[in-house]
Structure 1
Amino acid sequence: MESYIRPGCVILTIYLRLPNWMWDKINVDPAPWIENLISISTHGFWETGWLYARVQDRLTLSCNGRLMLVSPWRPVIGDKHQILCVTPIAAAYNSTANFSVRGFNIAQPTTKLLCIFGGKYLVQEATQKLHADTRIQQGPQCLTFSCSFPSTSGRGFIEVEDYDQSSICFPFVVAEESICCEIRMLEEKLNIIAFGDALEGREDLMASRSQALKFLHEIGWLLQRSHTRATSSKAPQQHHAVGFSAARFRWLLSFAVDQEWCGVVKMLLDTLFQGNIDVASPVDFVLGESLVFAAVNKRSKPLVACLLRYTTKSAPVGSGAVATPARFLFTPDMTGSSDITPLHVAATITNAAAVLDALTDDPQQVLAPNSHAIFFLN
């Protein structure tokens, strides 16, 4: 149940597993099935209010248990309507962002634009009012608008909706400005216009775009859950948001490391040690991810330096535990598989002089007593 998507409306998603022949039957005539669903209801849930149901290309509309409409579904927004790019994809909280939305057929007499964040509509406007060029256009159209964000981090949506409730949407993230600066580097990967008409390599570009969109959704959802947990920390324990899954967090962390984003990586590690992730031991989890090795293999001096200087002293939110003294998590001599250290890796790959400098300049000076060995490897 996701009311954050559409304020004032709770979207209940029901997953059904049926044989193909049954789906075919429902698609031909969904009316008897909807009427049967209403009639067998014992608690009145399906008999109260409006019920809009769509199966493939057929839709039904019921009101207070009475079937009012059965009709083919012909969406106005379909393959010919598309959001090609949105800028910015990340906005700082406590700021005003100037958005630009480019796409095909997004400014029509019957369409409106919605900007949704934090369970509220920040913008609800007819798209033609946001479209500066009133001439008929064959190519992409551009909508521009501004909205201000509160001191809240999370995920929002920009949605173009038509009168028949068909819609297309695009996510954006609200976070600290330093985090937003790094996330906005994905805008080029998300911009379909920049792909051009060339077919060669397009499949790889679309796959990269899909991964970038997934990251936007996931990082925004994590920020939103973490904010909810932090702001409800004084409430009873049962009201706390459930932790983010370890598998999803691992994917986010790997993506951020691959992009060499120091700010996002630090924010993710902070989130982990604030108790927002479903792991038994945050320290064991993060040390098992071989982050320094990944940074060395990418020859990323800034990321290596960021990890070696990262410290944590936070206790999980709501745990009642006292925060432990600050401790460094990563060292240049930490061992991985076959007792290999990041220093060994840096010494055996090309163009890694800057990374070696970062490893030997760690704040704990772990390697200082053995500096002669370092020069030998270098």
Structure 2
Amino acid sequence: DRTGRIIFKLFGKEPGTVPGNLRDEIVNWLKHSPSEMEGYIRPGCLVLSMYLSMPAIAWDELEENLLQRVNTLVQSSDLDFWRKGRFLVRTDTQLVSYKDGMTRLSKSWRTWNTPELTFVSPIAVVGGRKTSLVLKGRNLTIPGTQIHCTSTGKYISKEVLCSAYPGTIYDDSGVETFDLPGEPHLIIGRCFIEVENRFRGNSFPVIVANSSVCEELRNLEAELEDSQFFDVSSDDQVHDARRLKPRDHVLHFLNELGWLFQKAAACTPSTKSDISDSDLIQFSTARFKYLLLFSNERDWCSLSKTLLDILAKRSLVSDELSQETLEMLSEIHLLNRAVKRRSSRMVHSLVQFVVICPDNSRLYPFLPNLPGPGGLTPLHLAASIDDAEDIVDALTDDPQQIGLICWHSVLDDNGQSPETYAKLRNNHSYNELVAQKLVDRKNSQPCGILKEIPYNKQMDKKKIFMYIYEFS
């Protein structure tokens, strides 16, 4: 899905005149139910700004036929709210006006002095903390330009102090600032920074999270600032995901992460649990998969753990969701990917990750002995990589000590163990490391009886051996 924006500007209307079923009316008008929807109302010729996540084909159909669709909205509505009066409707590429029963399409609604955001820094701010944003773009200093920050139906605004020379019609390198007050209740979420002048402009997403997640996300700023092309607004992404440029991928990721964090914000103790569960269920497993892969490939341990925590909460809603989640994690092999990249921090973070189940039992989803293609476990992969002692150390340091125990016994499809892999590749130090850890373990813990219990996971229909110690 693609995140975009639709804006209605209604003349002669007041917030009190907005019908209660307006949201449902707009959803029906869109024909395609958006997977996400968020908006706010601004006074001054009533402005209704809505951010939507819809399939690319739905955006294409809407923008190609916006004139006809506005006619449909007016004619099929049971509300005089649309028929009586005058309003404008804007998407990223189209502008339609309605007045006295007539609709018109503006063929060229963009102008050379239309304000446009190309970059906002920082792109992630710490929740509850005051932050000053730096905005870069075009025509940000043109007289009459306003900056808005919107989140969860609320907004704050600032009118820029005109610094352009009188008569300036185009400013290619404008810089502005915007101060976020740092709402105490907004610990995780997303806001949009908007620039607007005469109903023209665009927007940019900013993530709200804890300091460690923000630090990781800010690594994306170089990709955003270095890429230069015509328009980078969150509501102007390339329609075909297969043709997305690197910068478009970053913006798509930030938008998807923002939608999830908005739902996570609803999971606070002050929020009703049934609403929270419903919000998390609506965020599909496929979207979690995309966010996890994006974060894992960049070795963002804090964000990956945050995503996994939210995913775990969602998976505990039902057995069906739990099974779907396990199948997805089995498919993408996050631990194997981290081993191949030699990311010891990510390997350690994943093997230590634990889900506390409703019965207070503990589930460790990322087992070092979990087989992938060819029966290769993370242990086998680590044993075959040069200069990976820190990876072997992390894999054999999991809370259940499965990696340590399985080093000599877990076999791939060819009947070879990680110990054999290390020998064949002259990585003898790995075997020495494991041998020493086994000696240390034997000397520091009471004797126990090793039981090998076959455990059949339906997710991949393979027999996996879980190793459990019973201490005498």
Classify the TM-score, shorter chain.
0.7 to 0.9
CA distance in 2, matches of 1:127, 1:235: 41
The alignment of Structure 1 onto Structure 2 pairs a total of residues equal to: 349
Equivalent residue, structure 2, for 1:186? 220
Matched, 1:154 2:189: yes
Q: Give the secondary-structure state (helix, strand or coil) at the position aligned to 1:274.
A: helix
Larger mean CA deviation between 285-294 and 270-279 belongs to 270-279
Instruction: Label 1:73 to 1:231 Cα distance change in 2 as closer, same or farther (>3 A).
Output: farther
Name the structure 2 match of 1:258.
297
Q: Residue 204 of structure 2 aligns to which amino acid in structure 1?
A: F
Q: What corresponds to 1:212 in structure 2?
A: 250
**Does the CA-based 8 Å contact 1:118-1:154 persist in structure 2?**
no
1:232–1:239 contact (8 Å) kept in structure 2? no
Aligned counterparts, 1:61-140, within 5 A: 61-62=98-99, 66-67=100-101, 70=104, 72=106, 74-76=108-110, 81-122=115-156, 124-128=157-161, 139-140=172-173
For each residue in 1:305-333, what CA deviation from the matched residue of structure 2 results, as whole angstroms up to 9, or x when unmatched? 1001111105xxxxxxx353233222222
Partners of 1:118 and 1:354 in 2: CA distance = 44
Please tell me whether residue 291 in structure 1 is matched to residue 330 in structure 2: no
Alpha-carbon shift at residue 45 of structure 1 (Å): 5.4
**Structure ranking higher in strand proportion:** 2
Residue deviations 1:113-148, cap 9 Å, x none? 1111232113x112236x6x8797955111012112
In the alignment, does 2:401 pair up with 1:368?
Answer: no
Q: How does 1:157-306 map to 2 (within 5 A)?
A: 157-163=192-198, 165-192=199-226, 207-230=245-268, 233-234=271-272, 240-241=278-279, 242-275=281-314, 279-281=321-323, 282-306=325-349
Shift, 1:173, TM fit:
0.3
CA contact (8 A) 1:261 1:303 kept: yes
Q: Distance in 1 between matches of 2:340 and 2:40?
A: 43
Q: Distance in 2 between matches of 1:366 and 1:173?
A: 37
Q: What CA distance in whole angstroms lies between the structure 2 residues aligned with 1:286 and 1:344? A: 19
Deviations 1:315-370 (A, max 9, x none): xxxxxxx3532332222222112211111112223443332232233333224346
Which residue does the alignment assign to 1:311? Answer: 354
Question: Aligned in 2, Cα 1:41/1:183: closer, same or farther, shift over 3 Å?
Answer: closer
Show structure 2 runs of 5+ residues with no match: 1-22, 24-35, 43-47, 230-243, 409-417, 428-472
Hey, what's the Cα distance between the residues in 1 that align with 2:275 and 2:94?
45
Distance 1:19 1:304 in 2: 45
**Larger deviation, residues 149-158 vs 53-62:** 53-62
Higher deviation after alignment, 11-20 or 343-352: 11-20
> What amino acid does structure 2 have at the position aligned with 1:305?
H
- Taking structure 1 as reference, are residues 359 and 109 closer, same or farther at Cα in structure 2, changes over 3 Å only? same
Measure, in 1, the Cα distance between the counterparts of 2:252 and 2:59.
24
CA distance in 1, matches of 2:342, 2:222: 23
Tell me how far apart the structure 1 counterparts of residues 338 and 312 of structure 2 sit (CA, whole Å).
21
Correspondence for 1:332: 368
Deviation at 1:54, TM superposition (A): 5.5
Q: CA deviation at 1:238?
A: 9.8
State the 1:194 CA deviation: 8.3
Query: Are 2:190 and 2:205, in contact at CA under 8 Å, matched by a contact in 1?
Result: yes
Unaligned runs of 5+ in 1: 196-205, 315-321
Rate the CA distance shift 1:126–1:222 in 2: closer, same or farther, 3 A.
same
**Amino acid corresponding to residue 253 of structure 1 in structure 2:** L
| SS in structure 2 of the partner of residue 302 of structure 1 | helix
Check whether the contact 1:60–1:67 (CA below 8 A) recurs between aligned residues.
Answer: no
The equivalences for 1:12-51 within 5 A come to: 15=58, 38-39=74-75, 41-44=77-80, 46-47=82-83, 50-51=86-87
Cα deviation for residue 220 of structure 1 reads 1.0
Q: Are the counterparts in 2 of residues 310 and 330 from structure 1 also a CA contact under 8 Å?
A: yes
Code of the aligned partner of 1:269: L
Contact kept, 8 Å, 1:111 with 1:160, in 2: the verdict is yes
> Per the alignment, do residues 44 and 12 of structure 1 end up closer, same or farther by CA in structure 2, a change over 3 Å counting?
farther
State how far apart, in whole Å, the 2-side matches of 1:36 and 1:292 are. Answer: 51
Q: What amino acid does structure 1 have at the position aligned with 2:286?
A: A
Quick one: structure 1 residues 59 and 284, their matched pair in 2 at CA, closer, same or farther if it must change by over 3 Å?
A: closer
> Secondary structure of 1:174's match?
strand
Q: Displacement of 1:87 after TM fit?
A: 0.5
Residue deviations 1:231-256 (CA, integer Å, cap 9, x gap):
57536569932521111110000000
Give TM-score, length-normalised by structure 1: 0.78
Aligned to 1:353: 389
Contact 2:115 2:145 in 1 (8 A): no
What is the SS of the residue equivalent to 1:334? coil
CA distance in structure 2 between the aligned counterparts of 1:81 and 1:44, rounded to whole angstroms: 33
In the alignment, the residues of structure 1 paired with residue 197 and residue 202 of structure 2 have an alpha-carbon distance, to the nearest angstrom, of 9
Which of 334-343 and 230-239 deviates more?
230-239
Computed over aligned residues only, the root mean square deviation of the Cα atoms, in angstroms, reads: 3.8
Secondary structure in 2 matching 1:275? helix
Shift of 1:257: 0.4
Q: Quick check: 336-345 or 256-265, which moved more?
A: 336-345
Q: Is the contact between residue 91 and residue 173 of structure 1 (CA under 8 Å) also seen in structure 2?
A: yes
In 1, Cα distance between equivalents of 2:248 and 2:113: 17
Structure 2 letter corresponding to 1:140: S
Report the more deviating stretch, 365-374 or 260-269: 365-374
**Cα deviation, residue 227, structure 1:** 1.7
Is the 1:77–1:168 contact (alpha carbons within 8 Å) kept by the matching residues of 2?
A: no
Report which of the two structures shows the higher radius of gyration computed on alpha carbons: 2
Query: Identity over aligned residues, as a percent?
Result: 28
Closer/same/farther in 2, CA of residues 294 and 210 from structure 1, 3 Å limit? same
Where 1:110 maps in the other structure, the secondary structure is: coil
SS at match of 1:100: strand
